[in-house]
Structure 1
């Protein structure tokens, strides 16, 4: 723990020193051929489904077969597309309102392995010692190989007070390590702020929620009433992301009106969008340091990338996670849904975040 405290202190000192030395200031394909191929493949699927129903050794409910087929299809697309059964679809809203039950852990599939993006600060997973980059190989003794992301999330959530064992592989460990963690009702306070030293404000964003933009504005206003802000450390470490709109709201507080924050590109025209800073008040008269690490993903990378591209901030830390794709939630007729990747994010200068992450201007290993 003393080493960890030393690293954190060194990182903050680096940020402070840097702040104090900065000056102010498609083509269209043949649809008929595609449709013909699709219908032919659907006939094959129906044929296989019929054989399974009539000849498989055990009776399997038709819906279970269809759900499994859908999950397999989506698993073959990318790590972030997934099928949401009716229960999971109903729970979708809790992730952005700041309160839900579970471990407080953000996960993804990386190279087909269930991987921790980051534990959320102050949650059971964080206190247990789960780290960004940890690979989860078992949940309650069940192998996570070929497990869909939404299934893993569902298994890790549960009644507050109940325990769950997850098995972790980590660099430096010779064999999987078991962690027994007690589930809690997760309440995430997205913004934490304070003063590092006179004139230097510190704002820590744990997650991008509906009110994060308002909370950041409130923190800036509150501090500025007492004394003029001379510099800001914006800490996005171990922030797994959240709402795109929230990341835009935070970014535009530090960019001039009309400047591009992020844009998205997809195959469908309505997925090609540009998000620009609005004409609201801009905090532009002090330098900014943005802190990132391996646990900074998605919306965090949008903010870091926008401020970096426009020269509004210096990014300090280690390479970010590299989650730069857009997922659209699509409801289905039986109450289930799809979480489907429909576009990718690009920074104002056209950099793709996906699979690459944000490279800090100054690398400080943690």
Structure 2
């Protein structure tokens, strides 16, 4: 092994292997070792040729970064290298806000695909839906971008406009949607009263305080009157923190397994904590194609334990676990390390969670008009949205306004209407 770059590559590769998955020397076969050295020698040869003969001079760091991105991109859509800027933004997203258009995206079948729009954001207001494929961002082909590059393009200065070229299966042509970037608040839990004793909690994503906020909302409602039933709305919830998904499910599951993860030579189980305060009232869980990852963990656990009735449409099917490892210089590595399994042992990956009662959202699916998808509920229609009444407005007027909003929401949201009907007729 005379090539200095090859020695460096081998050293780095072996260091990563020892750091990630320690293996005894006797377990390494000579064939695999020979294959490793052979592949690294090929890489070193190609790198040397590129540096000497490529049409223009290119830095070694750019080449190596491209090689790393290519390697991780060949694994799955969720493994990626995070530059120091990307890593910092990832940490901020877990607990704060960001500016952008408000969509969670992934790469599916080679296309940049919407996992879920975030409720109340520009993308949600324009009717972008889970499963929509983003063909272009500001005229640039999204297929040519890495996932991190696409996310970076979607974000930007508040007030700046961005044009997304979007395709949808049941629409004949791609459509250009002009969005204005805005501050995307990370409101995790939104609660509202539907009827006497019947409540609605919408979880938009799973953040650091989601389980606590959910519990506080339920306890606040219980102080006013006994809770007879709950609609737990996980529609368009792209996921978030595994721990918080487990803690939310733990509020409703008395005992047993909530979720398990299985990786290479390692398995982890998350069990219901008997010390946690448990809620025993009937629960209906709303899910759709935008419910993913952590949302699927909660839905799958409640379904397997027969603790809730699931209503809506089949979930997204993101059942993989990503581990984020800090790297020198402020960068990071996001690597898929395991899969999620429901208490019954079913993998969420690709298959998703099938609801007990299938109720598609009633959408006319007309072509977009003036750059807006039709048939999508709006922020003003949501249960948690209240008019900005003047301070001197009477309490009676406020209650009438809220009742009108609830009536409008139930009239336009057939899934919520069906869930409320079922909840009203479940045994107490």
TM over 0.5: yes
Match of 1:3 in 2: none
Q: How does 1:49-68 map to 2 (within 5 A)?
A: 49-68=47-66
* 1:309 corresponds to 2:325: no
Stretches of structure 1 that go unaligned for 5 or more consecutive residues are 1-25
- Work out whether residues 322 and 355 of structure 1, in 8 Å CA contact, stay in contact via their aligned partners in 2: yes
Q: How does 1:108-119 map to 2 (within 5 A)?
A: 108-119=106-117
Q: Distance in 2 between matches of 1:266 and 1:146?
A: 30
Aligned counterpart in structure 1 of residue 155 of structure 2, from 154, 157, 168: 157
SS in 1 for 2:352: coil
Q: TM-score scaled to structure 1, two decimals?
A: 0.89
Q: What does the per-residue CA deviation read over 1:256-301, in whole Å, with 9 as the maximum and x for residues that have no partner?
A: 14x11101000143xx211111133433431110000000000000
Match of 2:342 in 1: 347
Aligned counterpart in structure 2 of residue 265 of structure 1, from 262, 266, 281: 262
SS in 2 for 1:196: strand
SS in 2 for 1:306: helix
Greater shift, 171-180 or 350-359, is seen at 171-180
- Work out whether residues 242 and 299 of structure 1, in 8 Å CA contact, stay in contact via their aligned partners in 2: yes
Q: Distance in 2 between matches of 1:145 and 1:306?
A: 35
- Work out whether residues 98 and 189 of structure 1, in 8 Å CA contact, stay in contact via their aligned partners in 2: no
Which is higher, the Rg of structure 1 or of structure 2? 2
Q: Distance in 2 between matches of 1:156 and 1:142?
A: 12
Stretches of structure 2 that go unaligned for 5 or more consecutive residues are 1-22, 362-428
How far the C-alpha of 1:31 sits from its partner, in A, is 4.3
* 1:246 corresponds to 2:247: no
Q: What does the per-residue CA deviation read over 1:199-258, in whole Å, with 9 as the maximum and x for residues that have no partner?
A: 11111111110000000000110000111111111000001010000001100000114x
How far the C-alpha of 1:174 sits from its partner, in A, is 2.5
Q: Distance in 2 between matches of 1:34 and 1:337?
A: 28
- Work out whether residues 208 and 246 of structure 1, in 8 Å CA contact, stay in contact via their aligned partners in 2: yes
Aligned counterpart in structure 2 of residue 233 of structure 1, from 231, 234, 249: 231
1:38 to 1:146, Cα distance in 2 relative to 1, 3 A: farther
How far the C-alpha of 1:149 sits from its partner, in A, is 1.1
Q: Distance in 2 between matches of 1:262 and 1:149?
A: 28
* 1:78 corresponds to 2:73: no
Would you say how many aligned residue pairs link Structure 1 and Structure 2? 337
Q: TM-score scaled to structure 2, two decimals?
A: 0.76
How far the C-alpha of 1:190 sits from its partner, in A, is 0.7
- Work out whether residues 252 and 280 of structure 2, in 8 Å CA contact, stay in contact via their aligned partners in 1: no
Match of 1:6 in 2: none
Match of 2:195 in 1: 197
Aligned counterpart in structure 2 of residue 38 of structure 1, from 11, 36, 39: 36
- Work out whether residues 108 and 115 of structure 1, in 8 Å CA contact, stay in contact via their aligned partners in 2: yes
Query: Greater RCO between the two (CA within 8 Å, min separation 6)?
Result: 1
Aligned counterpart in structure 2 of residue 326 of structure 1, from 308, 321, 346: 321
Q: Distance in 1 between matches of 2:39 and 2:68?
A: 14
Match of 2:142 in 1: 144
Q: Distance in 1 between matches of 2:33 and 2:102?
A: 43
Q: What does the per-residue CA deviation read over 1:318-349, in whole Å, with 9 as the maximum and x for residues that have no partner?
A: 00000000001122234322211000000011
Match of 2:405 in 1: none
Q: Distance in 2 between matches of 1:219 and 1:149?
A: 36
Match of 1:295 in 2: 290
Aligned counterpart in structure 1 of residue 281 of structure 2, from 273, 283, 286: 286
SS in 1 for 2:343: coil
Q: How does 1:200-211 map to 2 (within 5 A)?
A: 200-211=198-209
Q: Distance in 2 between matches of 1:147 and 1:346?
A: 31
Q: Distance in 2 between matches of 1:160 and 1:61?
A: 34
Aligned counterpart in structure 2 of residue 358 of structure 1, from 353, 360, 365: 353
SS in 1 for 2:94: helix
Q: RMSD between aligned alpha carbons?
A: 1.6
1:102 to 1:29, Cα distance in 2 relative to 1, 3 A: farther
- Work out whether residues 256 and 282 of structure 1, in 8 Å CA contact, stay in contact via their aligned partners in 2: no
How far the C-alpha of 1:146 sits from its partner, in A, is 4.2
SS in 1 for 2:330: coil
How far the C-alpha of 1:29 sits from its partner, in A, is 6.4
Greater shift, 346-355 or 157-166, is seen at 157-166
Q: Distance in 2 between matches of 1:249 and 1:295?
A: 21
How far the C-alpha of 1:166 sits from its partner, in A, is 1.3
